[in-house]
Structure 1
Amino acid sequence: MKDRNRILLIVFGCGASSMAIEMTASRMISNVYSGVNVVWAAIIGSILIYLAVGNWLGSRYMAKHSTLPNLARLVLLAGVLTCLIPVIARPLLGLAAVKIPQVNIPVVSVIFIGVLLTLSLPMILLGMITPAALTLIRIAEPQKEGAGILLAASTTGSFLGTLLPIFFLIPQFGSTRTFLIIGSFLILLSVVGLSTKKQLGTHLLLLLLALLLLIFFPAKPLNSNQDLLSVESTYQLVRVQQENGFTILCLNEGQGIQSIYHPEIENYYGPWEQILTAPFFFSVSDSLPEVKNVAILGFAGGTAARQLVKVFPEVGIDGFEIDGEVVDAAHRFFDLPEENLTLQTNDGRIGLLQSNTEYDIVMVDAFNAHYIPANLCTQEFFRIVSSKLSQRGVMLMNIGGTSENHPLVDAILRTAASVFESVFTLQIPDSYNYVLYAMNFPSSVEIIEQNYANFSQSERYPSLLKETLSIAVNGLTKPEIPSGILLTDDHAPVERLADLTLFNAIRSYP
């Protein structure tokens, strides 16, 4: 192979590897720190700095070491250091996962910086490749212009490196082994730049060590010994755990519980049961209201759906869950009410918009950690929900609020109130969960109180319903609508509001 072609192949492979490392690092870090914009900005910004340093060093290095084997050594070293990223970063992230629930911000911040620094050396080395290769091309073929084709090769490789981890490597192998695969690929790629067989031995030995690390390095997430399932999907780390007879669905390394199931326990005293309160806002009655069709956006493991069927056994449920791995886990581990259920792997907003069904209840339960997808809390979204509700239909939304001063809860409440005629809030006891109820008809707390009075003394109705209504009666409020911005598709700063909520909680933390 001609030197020019070998150089182009190296540049292409390193371009692919640099973006693959960036995408894989983003997934690895977001499993603990979430995938919000501030985290993405920190990752991308630091990597751009590393690449810039590498660009500056690359031409200077080649000015003194202008041979193809020296270029290959840069690739080899980048591959070795890439293999070490998960070895160093995983213990740090495991510590961060413990410290985040303790609101230990200094330690969490230092760990975050430390994890970003583990990316520095391999990314600096990869940043050196293109300017170093350009120097070699100009020395070998001074009469030809090589910059354009080198940049094209690097950019094309970067395009491939953006897609491969997200759509294949991470879902298939997980982020840890994806790093090891990228590192092994770089070590193998370095062989292209060798000029003698004598140099081959060291490269192949390091490749063998990388492959052994790939085979034997533990790929399971930290603290996952009790997991029934642990898999990295296109979107997140999906974990199903067994604890004291409870089956629990957790996403990423966080401490939150997305879904819960126990074969002998009905009431989990969380936000899921409050779907049962929704039908009782319309009017006072001494018999169960009719509930025909329900949509659940952010279905997860289907806890709310199971609770609903216990009281309304004839109901039809359309579930929307964007993550196919979560859907598979729900079917495998959470005893779904399959006869009542149509479960789609789809974005909740898109699925609801495409549905032709009129719903008596629309539940939105897409909150993860402190954040909610922006497209599920804007005026435009609430108008879609409003148009899909029946005459007596109610929307309820599970929202995370970590303090009495909760800007995100206020913004969502204010935005919902701009679309619906009536809105109510309920804080779930002993939790950071708020439930927002919204409807297109006038209602009051007194209607819920009267319905509870009618049902609480009767033996005909499940205790699950009566306990749920009791919680609503004791905590339901019709709040004053705070002034401030309305969330729209064009302007929905939900991450900033969520961060402000978190900072308020930190300031009040003892």
Structure 2
Amino acid sequence: MTAQLDRTEGGTDQPARSYSLPLGVVVFVTGSVSLGAEIAATRLLEPWFGASTIVWANTIAVVLVALSVGYSIGGRLADRDPSMAGLSRIILVASVLIAAVPFVANPFLRASVDAFDSLSVGTFAGSLLGVMVLIAVPLLLVGAVSPYAVRLAVDRVEDSGRVAGRLYAISTFGSLVGTFAAALVLIPFVGTRRTFLVFALLLALAAIAGLRRHRLPALIVPALILVLIALPTGILKSGTAGSTVIWEKETRYQYGRVLQAADGERTLELNEGQAVHSLYRPGSYLTTGYWDQQLALMWAGRSDLRSVAILGSAAGTTARALGHYSPTTHIDAVEIDKAVTQAGRKYFDLQAPDLQTYADDARPWLERTTTKQDAIVIDAYRQPYIPFYLTTKEFFALVRDRLAPGGVVVVNVGQPAGSTKLEKVLAATMRTAFGDDRVYRDPAQRTNTLLVGTTDDTEPADALRAKAPTLPAEVEQVLDGSASRIEPALTGGDVYTDDKAPVEWLVDLSLAKVAETGEGR
């Protein structure tokens, strides 16, 4: 589909076909950029605001508003200047703005996060403003292309419906291709920054095909974009004071980085970096963090751990410690992100005598396995949220079924300091599978409580005290500490199901409450 006529810079009507791409190709390219840039924008925000559905909802909302405004403006501009040159200028400007996004993102987002932290404004407002500033204007221009193209392609009024339908179908198909290209190919293999640049390059080439008199000067834009694609990406986020980034990667699932302090201590951060997901201290298997309590509470049931599953093992802090202190235990370490497990082996000394790692999602893996576990540890957060399907009564029924007699489940509940709403919900939901008197809590850390579900009437504190003397002194102290703190779980929470589990709303409201009252600061 091509435009029949084009009013060129010289003022004469010329057949657009003689020097431009078919309009179908143009709208296909811009359609692919519209949703491909949306996927890339979300990945750009994740290291700063996290990977929740709140961030996704904000991104989608901004994209839809920008495209809607672009449709309206594009129609008006097309009526004023129905020419391929006019359309190409819009596309060229959009390409420049898309190319600029990843370069202005980091300083802007860093300043944005600092500002919102100081004002106690949450993820919703921060991510919304971030997306608006970064991609709203270029996507508004991209949205202007389809109605502009329809105006150029319609030669007779009686053909307008057929022409518009065809071009919008092509644009939608382009959006589908752009979505999968960004998510499955570009972001995993070339990174987020170069994903934006590839889309910008496609826009620039499409724009140049529609220019006649100024085509050669306009070639500067794709040439510069190619140079930017060739440049090394560098470090996405610099280290904090006293630490150095020794590894970072944009994986299929998230952004991750490893920081090393001057004393050799290493930490794993994922996405926005508000939590440490794994920790390594040279010469030590304990951390003084919640991983130590995870290790201890595995013995809240059986004294001999034959088989343990860790769902959400990250870089393997708990698996490594268990392998050292209980070398005969078979460990299934399940981590959805293979790159994080690889970083664990390289930077966190992830090894054990009988360790099997799996690159899989926690619940599907548990569905498939037939092994009866003596302990199942659940630590599958994408800070600050736990996946909703790991919070439901159906999930805990599955966990209960996969435990051997006397086995225990240990759930890490990360929550804002001073808030217990998530803990109460998980405790209430766990009781549907384990019973009212078999769910306990260990308030081990300021922002981490460990919930324990047992399969028999053994008191966890008694089991821990019985096991403690058989372990090295440093671990004995950890077990004794947990035994002194462990108590019946809190009551008052709702029971979540696969059909209804508003865990992100619960966490966001808890964060807002803490920010409002200043609790936990």
The alignment covers a number of residue pairs equal to 496
Identify the residue that residue 318 of structure 1 maps to in structure 2: 332
Asked whether the equivalents of residues 273 and 308 of structure 1 are also in contact (C-alpha less than 8 Å), the reply is no
Q: How does 1:293-308 map to 2 (within 5 A)?
A: 293-308=307-322
CA distance in 2, matches of 1:173, 1:130: 29
Deviates more, 1:492-501 or 1:218-227: 218-227
Q: How does 1:118-137 map to 2 (within 5 A)?
A: 118-137=134-153
Measured against aligned partners, the alpha-carbon deviations of 1:155-196 in whole angstroms (never above 9, x if no partner) come to 1100011111111111122212211221122111212223x3
Structure 2 residue 485 is matched with structure 1 residue 488: no
TM-score normalised by the chain length of structure 1: 0.91
Identify the residue that residue 211 of structure 1 maps to in structure 2: 226
| DSSP-derived class of the 2:433 partner | coil
Identify the residue that residue 53 of structure 1 maps to in structure 2: 69
Q: How does 1:78-477 map to 2 (within 5 A)?
A: 78-98=94-114, 104-105=120-121, 109=125, 112-139=128-155, 143=159, 145-194=162-211, 196=212, 198-216=213-231, 218-224=233-239, 226-243=244-261, 244-282=263-301, 289-421=303-435, 422-429=438-445, 431-444=446-459, 446-448=461-463, 450-451=465-466, 455=468, 458=469, 461-477=471-487
Deviates more, 1:336-345 or 1:128-137: 336-345
Asked whether the equivalents of residues 174 and 219 of structure 1 are also in contact (C-alpha less than 8 Å), the reply is no
Asked whether the equivalents of residues 276 and 308 of structure 1 are also in contact (C-alpha less than 8 Å), the reply is yes
- Cα distance change on mapping 1:481 and 1:211 into 2, 3 Å: same
| DSSP-derived class of the 1:356 partner | coil
Shift in Å, 1:19 = 0.5
- Cα distance change on mapping 1:371 and 1:153 into 2, 3 Å: same
TM-score normalised by the chain length of structure 2: 0.90
Identify the residue that residue 286 of structure 1 maps to in structure 2: none
Measured against aligned partners, the alpha-carbon deviations of 1:252-295 in whole angstroms (never above 9, x if no partner) come to 13131101112312221222122333344337xxxxx2111000
Asked whether the equivalents of residues 236 and 251 of structure 1 are also in contact (C-alpha less than 8 Å), the reply is yes
CA distance in 1, matches of 2:103, 2:38: 17
Deviates more, 1:400-409 or 1:434-443: 400-409
Identify the residue that residue 27 of structure 1 maps to in structure 2: 43
- Cα distance change on mapping 1:446 and 1:346 into 2, 3 Å: closer
Unmatched 5+ stretches in structure 1? 284-288
CA distance in 2, matches of 1:162, 1:151: 16
CA distance in 2, matches of 1:114, 1:364: 32
Asked whether the equivalents of residues 59 and 131 of structure 1 are also in contact (C-alpha less than 8 Å), the reply is yes
CA distance in 2, matches of 1:63, 1:291: 75
Asked whether the equivalents of residues 360 and 389 of structure 1 are also in contact (C-alpha less than 8 Å), the reply is yes
Deviates more, 1:250-259 or 1:292-301: 250-259
Measured against aligned partners, the alpha-carbon deviations of 1:90-143 in whole angstroms (never above 9, x if no partner) come to 212123455677674289946751542221211111111110000001138975
Unmatched 5+ stretches in structure 2? 4-16
CA distance in 2, matches of 1:319, 1:103: 40
Letter in 1 for 2:440: F
- Cα distance change on mapping 1:111 and 1:237 into 2, 3 Å: closer
Structure 2 residue 514 is matched with structure 1 residue 505: yes
CA distance in 2, matches of 1:331, 1:217: 26
- Cα distance change on mapping 1:221 and 1:97 into 2, 3 Å: farther
Asked whether the equivalents of residues 361 and 389 of structure 1 are also in contact (C-alpha less than 8 Å), the reply is yes
Identify the residue that residue 10 of structure 1 maps to in structure 2: 26
Shift in Å, 1:488 = 0.5
Asked whether the equivalents of residues 443 and 485 of structure 2 are also in contact (C-alpha less than 8 Å), the reply is yes
Identify the residue that residue 66 of structure 1 maps to in structure 2: 82
Asked whether the equivalents of residues 18 and 126 of structure 1 are also in contact (C-alpha less than 8 Å), the reply is yes
| DSSP-derived class of the 2:353 partner | helix
Asked whether the equivalents of residues 424 and 494 of structure 2 are also in contact (C-alpha less than 8 Å), the reply is no
- Cα distance change on mapping 1:480 and 1:230 into 2, 3 Å: closer
Cα-Cα RMSD: 2.3
Shift in Å, 1:448 = 4.6
Letter in 1 for 2:497: T
| DSSP-derived class of the 1:367 partner | coil
